[in-house]
Amino acid sequence: MRHPRLPIVVVGSGVAGMTTALAAAPAPVRLLCRSADGTGSASALAQGGIAAALGEGDGVEAHVRDTLEAGARHNDASAVRWLCEAAPATVAWLDALGVAFDRRPDGGLQLGREGGHGVSRIVHAGGDASGAALMRALRAKVQAAPHVQWRGGVDAEALLLRGGRVAGVRVRDARGRQQLIEAAAVVLATGGLGALYARTSNPPGADGAGLALAMAAGAATRDLEFVQFHPTALAVDGHCLPLLTEALRGAGARLVDRAGVPLMQGLHPLGDLAPRDVVARRVWQARQQPAGGAWLDARSIEGDWHARFPTVLATCLAHGLDPRREPLPITPAAHFHMGGVATDLDGRSSLPGLYAVGESACNGVHGANRLASNSLLEAVAGGRRLGAVLAAGIAASTPGAYRWVERGASLPPENLLALRELLWHAAGPVREDMALRMAWRRCAAAAGAGWQMRLARALLQAMRLRCDSLGAHWRGDPGCAAQAGS
């Protein structure tokens, strides 16, 4: 083991990437991101907060139980325990970093409730603007950190392998200029892939590019079939839809049909606060009915909307809707990928020198369906853990032949639009074998057209092979005739 002279390259500057970069001190870090100014990550849009068993009568056991229940017990139990145990210290670390969490008049942390949680255990900062608050605090620390060199406006398009170990990246800027960055280790913190769907709560950059790069290099993946759909995106035109946070339902909002009849009544003991996959399927089904649809009625919420839900209020008003006065039209939207680059809890992938953290990784913590507000938690807790591993020193690279692995060309825009529609209809909240098979065939036939097709082919393959319903992967057809490669 030695302290690396080469930098650690972190690809992605959302919460997971910035936390990893900070925690890796004093190792030198190059932090790369696609947007020129560091904006554009899904983290900044996160309206939920951080789940942590901090309330009276709550405890780690209960947080573990709710995480496993939401995850359909597909989670790795030891990973879940690690996450839930790490949660209170994660909140304390962010507090010390300067994140101004919302507090009660007596100074204690204000705890909110979201779907799948048996009690109130979500801390927020700035009401429904928690992600932005975390990003601001982390960004200030990163900018002041002498060991971190930040570079925006570049896309990591290829990995350098030397002697079987990942030893660098090649980036390309908006003018097409390429640069090789040799690295002691490469960390993918590139987020999820919701933007591959026609309707998503994610920003356009959450398109699975990091996962596709890892796959091109031969890194093992895991649980690709588990894509979470948020039940309450605002049903307006567009690709990246505004989110209506679950905290609204935690504060009393109800899901209703056109006639105002509650949608969740009698369907689940937690009613409107059932785990996200259950609610998303109900909303999806309600929208499939002739003259159907689904609405979120938040008119009963009391208190200061500007303080509690500033993002939701401003977004709705911008679309000509007032949540204080009228029910809001909703649709499910692709929100979070439980699957990703297979890693251990230290973020190690199957490829020496390649790490992944946050949504781009799959370490088994979320199972088949992530519990609300466990994602910012995992991004910070996982980033701190991985950063500490990298700071402690990483194995020296082995001499050997160099080889470049390319992610490959991107799909032309019109093909990307078609792919998004294909995935939305075939690989959405309810899936059927015939539609999955036809979609897989289309992607397989067009695999050479762009990396998004190859990634979609892999997702569809995983969905076809899981014939049973589990968590966010719901099969609407009885039985299963999937044959790999047919």
| Residues in touch with ligand SIN (CB under 6 A) | 47-48, 245-247, 372-373, 375
What are the distances in angstroms from CA 75 to CA 79, 84, 339? Answer: 8, 13, 11
Minimum distance from CB of 371 to ligand SIN (Å)? 8
Which residue lies nearer to ligand SIN by CB, 70 or 458? 70
Distance CA(118)–CA(137), nearest Å, equals 30
Q: How many CB atoms lie within 10 A of CB 299?
A: 15
DSSP state of 240: B
- State the burial class of residue 281 (Cβ atoms within 10 Å of its Cβ: 0-12, 13-18, 19+): buried
| Minimum CB distance to ligand SIN, residue 360 (Å) | 16
Q: State the minimum distance, in angstroms, from the CB of residue 243 to ligand SIN.
A: 6
If the CB atoms of residues 128 and 157 are measured against ligand SIN, the closer one turns out to be 128
Q: Is position 276 annotated as part of the catalytic site?
A: yes
In the bound state with ligand SIN, the residue whose beta carbon lies nearer, of 246 and 297, is 246
Round to whole Å and give the CA distance between 382 and 186.
15
User: Distance between CA 167 and CA 149 in Å, rounded?
Assistant: 18
- Single out the residue of 189, 223, 216, 459 nearest to residue 351, CA to CA: 216
Residue with tokens 């905290």: 247
Comparing CB distances to ligand SIN, the nearer of 47 and 343 is 47
Cβ neighbors of 408 (< 8 A, separation 6 or more) are: 216, 450, 451, 454
Q: How far is the CB of 247 from ligand SIN (least distance, A)?
A: 6
Q: Which of 276, 407, 420, 466 is catalytic?
A: 276
Q: What is the DSSP code string of 124-166?
A: -SSTT-HHHHHHHHHHHHHHH-TTEEEE-SEEEEEEEEETTEE
- Strands 328-337 and 8-11 turn out to be unpaired
Nearest-approach distance from CB 204 to ligand SIN, in angstroms: 18
Residue nearest ligand SIN, CB atom distance: 48
- What the block records as the tokens of 11 is 């690809």
**Beta carbon nearer to ligand SIN, 19 or 373:** 373
How many angstroms separate the CA atoms of 196 and 205, rounded? Answer: 10
Residue 284 CB, shortest distance to ligand SIN, in Å, is 17
Between 255 and 436, CB nearer to ligand SIN? 255
Whose Cβ is closer to ligand SIN: residue 216's or residue 338's? 338
- List helix spans (H) across 270-374: 276-288, 305-308, 310-318
Tell me the closest approach of the beta carbon of residue 202 to ligand SIN, in angstroms.
11
User: CA end-to-end span of the chain, whole Å?
Assistant: 47
Active site residues: 276
